[in-house]
């Protein structure tokens, strides 16, 4: 197996590109894919201050590394979700990376700073853990970016993640979600811009990037997400990809190029421009009610006896 560029020994084959690469040219390839996504979707420029939401997993550590490498001003944001060992270990990976790079890391701890954690929220709300987890992360990404004066929030969602979300939205014809499924959400109503620069790269490519660059990432998946639909959709798409390399890319990027706008047209303008948006009386965040969803969640669960993660069963 020879590198497409230098004919030296290759370490990875990318069937959808019909190419093999040596370590050096694979890293070139990933940087170019990220730069293309940033340019094509006008995600940000060299003067923008970027806040990267970092979970300690391969994708978010890799995109932080790539952005620093490309010369962007990128600080990290880590949220301690209180999901037992999983959170402890992911926090350690994130801190070690920031220290090694001399990069700035902002940390928020749900239990220390807001009086609850995700297992307790799941128990108290009787909803799947991912629902309070997603709500808390979204709120804290937004408020940390606004407070810190950042222009844009970056997350590590990759092509597999976005194709799986698209697959789920198509299976159930969620027209509103389809109208909003974009790798860039513009700043609006006091919310910061949010972007996903890894939409041209797969999970496998991000793992290879971390192995080649020596990034020590958290391998385990969240114990509370085991068995969820998103994982099943990824497996289904991987089966199709196996038979027909490039399908995942065409599915997602073909949707963006040829179909997304049609759904945006039928579900408003595709952005969240809720009329009557006001300010949460507790935290000052934009909100459609007097109290925002995060403050309402805090009210409901902050006084609750802590519930250990082992008591929360993953639900489908």
User: Which region, left, alpha or beta, applies to residue 40 given φ > 0 means left and ψ of -120 to 50 means alpha?
Assistant: alpha
What string marks each residue from 204 to 223 as x (binds ligand AMP by CB under 6 A) or -?
A: --------------------
How far is Cα 26 from Cα 21, in angstroms, rounded to an integer?
A: 5
202 contributes a contact to ligand AMP by CB under 6 A? no
247: contact with ligand AMP by CB under 6 A: no
Contact flag: residue 192 with ligand AMP (CB under 6 A): no
- 12 binds ligand FES, rule: CB under 6 A: no
* Residue with nearest beta carbon to ligand AMP: 156
Q: Is residue 118 within the footprint of ligand FES (CB under 6 A)?
A: yes
Is 33 one of the binding residues for ligand AMP (CB under 6 A)?
no
One character per residue 132-171, x = contact with ligand FES (rule: CB under 6 A): -x--------------------------------------
Which of 10, 54, 201, 295 binds ligand AMP (CB under 6 A)? It is 54
Chosen residue from 225, 232, 240, 277 binding ligand FES by CB under 6 A: 225
* Ramachandran area for residue 289 (φ above 0: left; ψ -120 to 50: alpha; else beta): beta
The closest of 117, 73, 95 to 217, measured between CA atoms, is 95
- Count Cβ atoms below 10 Å from residue 205 Cβ, excluding itself: 23
C-beta of 180: minimal distance to ligand FES in Å? 21
**Residue 60 within binding range of ligand AMP, rule CB under 6 A:** yes
Within residues 72-111, the interface with ligand AMP by CB under 6 A covers: 77-79, 81
């Amino acid at each position: 197996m020879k590198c497409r560029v230098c004919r030296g020994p290759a370490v990875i084959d990318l069937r959808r590109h019909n190419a093999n690469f040596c370590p050096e040219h694979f890293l070139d390839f990933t940087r170019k894919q990220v730069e293309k996504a940033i340019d094509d979707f006008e995600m940000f420029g060299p003067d923008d201050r970027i806040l990267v939401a970092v979970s300690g997993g391969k994708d978010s550590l890799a995109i932080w590394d790539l952005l620093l490498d490309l010369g962007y001003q990128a600080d990290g944001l880590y949220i301690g979700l209180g999901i037992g060992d999983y959170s402890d270990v992911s926090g350690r990976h994130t801190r070690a990376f920031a220290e090694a790079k001399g990069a700035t890391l902002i940390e928020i701890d749900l239990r220390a700073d807001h009086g609850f954690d995700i297992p307790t929220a799941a128990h108290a709300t009787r909803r799947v853990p991912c629902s309070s987890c997603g709500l808390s992360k979204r709120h804290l990404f937004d408020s940390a970016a606004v407070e810190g004066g950042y222009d844009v929030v970056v997350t590590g969602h990759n092509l597999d993640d976005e194709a799986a979300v698209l697959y789920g939205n198509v299976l159930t014809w969620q027209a509103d979600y389809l109208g909003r499924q974009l790798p860039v959400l513009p700043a609006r109503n006091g919310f910061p811009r949010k972007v996903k620069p890894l939409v041209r790269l797969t999970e496998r490519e991000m793992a290879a990037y971390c192995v080649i660059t020596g990034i020590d990432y958290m391998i385990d998946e969240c114990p509370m997400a085991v068995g969820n639909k998103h994982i099943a959709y990824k497996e289904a798409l991987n089966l199709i990809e196996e038979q027909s390399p490039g399908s995942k890319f065409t599915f997602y990027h073909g949707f963006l190029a040829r179909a997304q706008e049609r759904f945006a047209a039928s579900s408003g303008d595709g952005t969240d421009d809720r009329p009557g948006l006001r300010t949460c009386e507790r935290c000052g965040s934009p909100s459609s009610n007097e109290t925002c969803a995060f403050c309402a969640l805090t009210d409901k669960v902050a006084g609750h006896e802590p519930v250990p993660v082992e008591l929360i069963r993953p639900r489908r």
